[in-house]
Structure 1
Amino acid sequence: MASSDTVVSIGAFCFGVTVGYIAYRALVRTERSAVSDLTTVVSAVGGAAVTGLFRPQQGDAFGWYSIGLLSGMAVFFVLFLLMNGKAATATFMGAPEPRRDRTDTTHDGTPGPPDGRPRR
């Protein structure tokens, strides 16, 4: 098993990535943010605090909690991608709809570039 300092360091990095990403999604990437969106961030932080309450002499509990938190988020993303496909995952992740401008249709109005170039 890895040393306690290594686990805590890796865990701190994983925790920062996870909480930062969740806060970013809740506050920036959504059109309507609500206080309930911050509940997710508070839950993650609260879970980390609980690891300090139980067996505080084992400092690596926070590290393992954080590694598991990021791993779980990554597994969810991969499973969602496998079960729903790229297009649904992109929509779920908040990707903007493809932009259609006038050069993106043919003369009869059907989608497709008129000069045969691939769409962006």
Structure 2
Amino acid sequence: MGSSQTVMSVGACCFGITIGYITYRTLVRAERSAVSDLATVVTAVGGAAVTSLFDPQQGDTFGWYSIGLLVGLAVFFLLFFAMNGKAATAVFMGAPDIGRPQEDRTPKSAEAHGHPRR
């Protein structure tokens, strides 16, 4: 499989990327987010904690969990893209500007501060 230290290092990077991405998406969707979005982050972190309970002598369990978590996130993204297309994926990922004219792309936060749409 691989040395425990390598698996742990790669796994820690994968875990950071996954948790960072999920947290980022939760904050970006702050207007539309719900408690379930926060629960997703807590569940992923809790799952990592539980892996150490099963076999604390085997140090690479967390690493493999984290690698699987990132791979699962990537597979979900690719399947969503394949099944729904580029435009739907862009909207899902938080880029609703796809298909809107350039002049209508002023962020909502800019309008709230008195900056009109161009």
| 1:74-119 per-position Cα deviation (integer Å, ceiling 9, x unaligned) | 00100110111000100111103223439xxxxxxxxxxxxxxxxx
Cα offset for 1:32? 2.9
Partner of 2:21: 21
Distance 2:47 2:33 in 1: 23
- Tell me which structure has the larger Cα radius of gyration: 1
Distance 2:15 2:103 in 1: 42
- Aligned residue pairs: how many? 102
Distance 2:48 2:40 in 1: 13
Instruction: Tell me the SS of whatever aligns to 2:11.
Output: helix
Partner of 1:76: 76
Instruction: Tell me the SS of whatever aligns to 2:70.
Output: helix
Partner of 1:3: 3
RMSD, aligned α-carbons: 1.6
Partner of 2:109: none
8 Å CA contact 1:4–1:60 kept in 2: the answer is yes
TM-score by length of 2: 0.80
Matched AA of 2:80: F
Partner of 1:39: 39
Q: Which structure dedicates a bigger proportion of its chain to helix? A: 2
8 Å CA contact 1:30–1:94 kept in 2: the answer is no
Matched AA of 1:64: W
Distance 1:101 1:18 in 2: 34
8 Å CA contact 1:51–1:62 kept in 2: the answer is yes
Cα offset for 1:31? 2.1
Instruction: Tell me the SS of whatever aligns to 1:49.
Output: helix
Matched AA of 2:17: V
Moved over 4 A (4+): none
TM-score by length of 1: 0.79
Stretches of structure 1 lacking an aligned partner (at least 5 in a row) = 103-120
